[in-house]
Amino acid sequence: MTNLDQRIEAMHRSDTRIAWAFVVGLWCAVIFVAIATWDLAPNGTARILLLIAGAVILVFNTAAILAMLRHYREDRDFMYGLDIKFLDAARAARR
């Protein structure tokens, strides 16, 4: 494995961890808000609608991040290689 491959793998792993941390944080935040505001809903119908809306947000955002991660995996050599090229150029220009 070349140095470039190692750097690409490290960047991809880092981005994947950050994306999963965002998903976990989003789920925790939505669940917390649902619990914290449960008594504010005027009736059972409103609570059901709010739960459905929260579930839709969670499902669509999770699916979007999974699709993003799949895309990153497919094109990671190109995307991260380009990022590394520009990072190296910027670092060289500062010297």
Check pLDDT > 70 for residue 74: yes
- Nearest residue to 37 via CA among 50, 24, 25: 50
What CA–CA distance (Å, rounded) separates 54 from 78?
36
Distance from the Cα of residue 91 to its chain's centroid = 27
| Alpha carbons 22 and 33: distance in angstroms, whole number | 16
72 CB neighbour count, 10 Å cutoff: 16
Arithmetic mean of pLDDT, 62-83: 92
The pLDDT assigned to 1 comes to: 64
Neighbouring C-beta atoms of residue 8, cutoff 10 Å:
20
- Sorted by where each begins, the domain ranges of the chain are 3-90
Nearest to 58 by CA among 87, 24, 12, 17: 24
> pLDDT tens, 22-47?
999 999 999 999 999 999 999 999 99
